[in-house]
Chains A and B, each alone.
Chain A
Amino acid sequence: MTALPTLQAPDAGCADAPVLKERGQHEVFCGLTGILWMHRKLQDAFFLIIGSRTCAHLMQSAAGVMIFAEPRFGTAVIEEKDLAGMAVLDEELDRVVQRLLARRPELRTVFLVGSCPSEVIKLDLNRAAERLTSVHGPQVRFAHWSGSGIETTFTQGEDACLRSLVPQLPPKEDDARELLVVGTLADVVEEQFLRIFRALGVGPVRFLPGRSARDLPAVGPGTRLLMAQPWVNETMRALAKRGAERIPAPFPYGVEGTQEWFRAAAREWGVPDGVFDSVLGPPITRARTALRRHREALEGRSIFFFPDSQAEIPIARFLARELGMRPIEVGTPHLDRAHMDAELPLLPGSTRLAEGQDVDKQLDRCREARPDLTVCGMGLANPLEAEGLRTKWSIELVFTPVQGFEQAGDLAELFHRPVDRARRLAVS
């Protein structure tokens, strides 16, 4: 087998590209929506939003179709009488928590999640978490983070949640090297990644978050970090303060991204090239086979990303380099250049990068460009379809297992399907 080449960019890509920074109406979810996947991942935790009826309504609306097996999240809805004073609020919160724990005795961690209203009235959730831990601990531990829309956009909620766990990670007892993969991955992807790391001889490997909010990995100077998701920026900074070191890598989308992601870890662990090639060779070949028919359908087509999850840049890179698509504009809610260091050079230099949003102006640009495919939120998709533009719901890129070799074809198919559908439908 030939040695797998390290990724080369034809030019500097978007490494130094200017960014259109916009400030206006943001058509994006707030950080609370991160709970929709985290509450499935963390099986012993409950997410208690301290917010308004709007927060509760958002959660059930954003869930698309309700997952009715009683979810491990809920909203303590602030009412008029609660706004009378902090003492009342504390008392009410204690009462709600009491009832919750009576109903769900299996819970071990409760996240008190701040919202726009709780931030504006300056509800001190840190103090509340300490108070409640002193009452219900050690059985139940309380942590807190804010998913408010005035501070966080969509996936930044997960970042805030993981960031809140960092101080609770036990200190590492020695300086032995250990890999910590940061960002929620689907269980199936996690298992695949573990198998590859094992075959490469990279380890021990831990994931943050794991399936429990109580069984947390230790962290210290020996810890090496790989970002599994592009939005865990603040968590990475907090882990760095605990002595952990980031291994720079692109994100594991597509064949190239996944390959380079593993290569970064393999180099750190000194894995011989021969071993690397023989372990990754078969899954890479499979993934390329899976991508082929999607490439035939998507090659040369233009694509426009509205900001949503921060995964836009790496996914656009995958679509451009592996499927031959042409990114016109790639919008992201937040551009963290430090963590996009391996991605930006790989994005075609012709791409317009946009950070933040002024949705009406962005819609004007999109209509002007008339892309073959537009990636946007659920609020914008049908109106754009009605204008004759094919769209892809961006939320599916977060709700579907798309990382890794075995999912590269699935990721491509998410973009192929709307194009295929438009081709099939004879009526309009």
Chain B
Amino acid sequence: MKLAVWTYEGPPHVGAMRVATGLTDVHYVLHAPQGDTYADLLFTMIERRNARPPVTYTTFQARDLGGDTATLVKNAVADAYARFQPAAMLVGASCTAELIQDDPGGLAERVGLDIPIVPLELPSYQRKENWGASETFYQLVRHLAGARAPERGQPAPPRPDWRAENRRPRVNLLGPTALGFRHRDDVVEITRLLDRMGIDVAVTAPMGASAADIASLGEADANVVLYPETADAAARWLEKTFRQPRTSVVPIGVGATRDFVVELSEILGLDADAGLGTLDSRMPWWSASVDSTYLTGKRVFIFGDATHVVAAARVAKEEMGFEVVGIGTYQREFARDVRRVAKEMGLEALITDDHLEVEAAIEEVAPELVLGTQMERHIAKRLGVFCAVISAPVHVQDFPARYSPQMGPEGANVLFDTWIHPLVMGLEEHLLGLFQDDFEFGNDTPPSHLHSHSPRPRTEGSETEAVTPEPAAEDRAVGANTPQASPSTPTTAPAESPVAPDPAGAPLWLAEAEAELKRIPFFVRGKARRNTERFASERGVTEISVDVLYEAKAHFGNR
């Protein structure tokens, strides 16, 4: 049993819904009680879809238990077929129905419909949303494309040769789903990129695909795996069954997009240099131009799904010139990829689905920018740190009306814009330092180009509390050292008086040094405080004077 307040992932049947909702003519019958219909709003409200997800809920009640819930399933299957006329049907159970063990898949088979029925076994008490999406897509592909697979024991027939057939090579784009972070625009961007490389898209799946499209997946020359968390299992099966090669690089960022072009060119026997010549991102110049100098060494913390985190780490380091100070994912299934990247950067990856642990980690490293999910956006807001969203889960404001891919050349432009947008601009940073006590343009002023959604500067009270080690700090599993007070309700002594000596032996700030610290702009103040205290502690200095503050600054520089 695990205490959860907010969750990064929903239950696995929500993953199945993301697949079903992406498809055009597949219906999902879900054995579930009435409240589970809440999941519809994820699609109709958060993603602003204009149609209900193709899901029928059996809606059993307490009085049905021990009675005939099986008939409810059969009726729901028959009614859904009659009303929606799907080309295939997914049938499964949500967490509660899993406990009553009705075998909805088997019951649906017995209804005797003339369409493929794909039973789903999604263990709700072990697995989560992304796994559910992956398993659903895999089962669907096995059932529908599997009908055209070579006989068991027979070798797969040789791959068709697109040159011999006098046509352009064709690939499938695998992984985009409903409710995916920017999947809609990534598909457009990669389709464009492929077109310029002389490659056609055979099928994009699950999003936009029909059951017939899924059945034909084996015909393409290769598979492009856009989102491994959904498509990796299916792509591996297609590779094994149809000898269809698959890509391994996710084209997020300039470097990864180049690697992707090279990889796919090699798979298809195309000229990689010609493909690279089609790339036209503005991002490298935007990053090299002198205005971007202030981005150098900005300390970033990255958290989200594995695909976006791995990509963001590379972009942050190699393409923005940031310093990655923390990295992690909520996806245990892909933890290995994130651990590898963390190791390369000399970090230890944070693998957790407890947002309180993430909050504690962010607080500890005091980054200047957080790249994360909606959870990290809330955390960053509380801590007064700038944040950009790079990964699901996201809320309605992260489904923009405008074209806003993460992948490909335009995706790289979007990353540059959205990551630096929250930051204080370079010259403004200097001006803030120059005129520290200006009442309108002082240290606690949010960036001038942002007002509504910049983080609120923290009061000294909560900041003091935030960096004071608490006795329960070792119980980090439940985030016990997270401050309870919100920034608006400081609970510690006013900042003018020296902070009371800490039982844990943290150094004491003298009033003059405390005042000097306040002259440092709020968005770097947390870092300055942390560095100074660390500097003092390491040297056994018990009182922090102005001199200690500047000695620490000289020691650490602006890091």
Contacts and interface: CB of A to CB of B under 8 A. Distances in A.
A174 interface: no
Interface stretch (B52-60, B450-458, B512-520): B52-60
Interface stretch (B41-49, B105-113, B250-258, B341-349): B41-49
Contacts of B128: 53
Interface in B173-213: none
A32 B35 contact: yes
A377 B35 CA distance: 12
Contacts of A100: 3
Given A61-B42, A75-B4, A149 B33 contact: yes
B34 interface: yes
Interface string B464-478: 000000001001001
A87 interface: no
Interface in B94-151: 94-96, 99-100, 123-126, 128
A70 B479 CA distance: 12
Given A76-B1, A102-B480, A116-B95, A68 B34 contact: no
A290 interface: no
B71 to A, nearest CB: 12
Given A61-B38, A151-B61, A153-B34, A54 B44 contact: no
Given A78-B1, A96-B1, A61 B41 contact: yes
B384 interface: no
Given A53-B95, A60-B6, A150-B96, A80 B45 contact: no
A58 B357 CA distance: 22
Given A68-B378, A99-B3, A28 B10 contact: no
Contacts, number: 194
A153 B50 CA distance: 26
Contacts of A69: 486
B34 A381 contact: no
Contacts of B484: 70
A30 interface: yes
Contacts of A66: 6, 374, 378, 395
B39 interface: yes
A27 interface: yes
A148 B94 CA distance: 14
Given A29-B35, A80-B125, A119 B40 contact: no
A117 interface: yes
Contact of A65 (B94, B395, B472): B395
**Band of interface residues on B:** 35 or more
Contacts of B480: 102-103
B44 A117 contact: no
A374 to B, nearest CB: 14
A120 interface: yes
A93 interface: yes
B56 A95 contact: no
Contacts of A75: 3-5
A125 B59 CA distance: 24
B56 A25 contact: yes
Given A360-B83, A383-B51, A26 B3 contact: no
Contacts of A71: 5
Nearest to B52: A383
A56 B50 contact: no
B1 A77 contact: yes
A398 interface: no
A378 B378 contact: no
Interface in B7-59: 7, 9-11, 13-14, 33-42, 44-46, 48-52, 56-59
A93 B94 CA distance: 23
B290 interface: no
B5 A74 contact: yes
B421 interface: no
A316 to B, nearest CB: 22
Nearest to A58: B38
B163 interface: no
29 contacts: A25-B37, A30-B33, A30-B35, A33-B38, A52-B96, A53-B95, A53-B124, A54-B94, A54-B95, A57-B7, A57-B14, A66-B6, A66-B374, A68-B382, A70-B484, A77-B2, A78-B125, A80-B123, A83-B99, A89-B1, A92-B1, A149-B33, A150-B34, A150-B65, A150-B96, A378-B45, A379-B38, A381-B45, A383-B49
| Across the A-B interface, the 8 shortest Cβ-Cβ residue pairs | A30-B35, A149-B35, A379-B40, A386-B50, A92-B1, A26-B34, A116-B96, A52-B95
